[in-house]
Amino acid sequence: MLSLRSWALVGSSVMAIWTIRHPNMLVRWAKRGLGIWSAWRLVKTTLRQQQLRG
C-alpha cells in the first residue's frame, strides 16, 4: 500500500509539472470532463422523466 501511495505521489507530481508546461492540455481535458458530466446529467434527467410518465 505504501508503494502505491509513493507511485501516486510521483505521478501527480509529474502531471503537475506537465500541466504547468502545457496548460492548453488541461483546458482541453477540463472541457471534455464538463461535456461528459453535462451529457450524463441530461441522460439521467431524461430517464427519470421517462420513468415518471410510464
Q: Which domain holds residue 44?
A: 23-54
Q: Exposure of 19 by Cβ count < 10 A (0-12 exposed, 13-18 middle, 19+ buried)?
A: middle
Element (H, E) at 44: helix 23-53
In a domain, 41, yes or no: yes
pLDDT under 50: residue ranges of the chain: none
In a domain, 6, yes or no: no
Q: What pLDDT is attached to residue 11? A: 92
The pLDDT of residue 42: 97
- pTM for this entry: 0.56
What is the per-residue pLDDT for 34?
96
Number of folded domains that form the chain: 1
Residue 8 lies in a domain: no
**pLDDT in the model for residue 39:** 97
| Secondary structure (3-state) at 22 | coil
Residue 37 lies in a domain: yes
Contact 26, 19 (CB under 8 A): yes
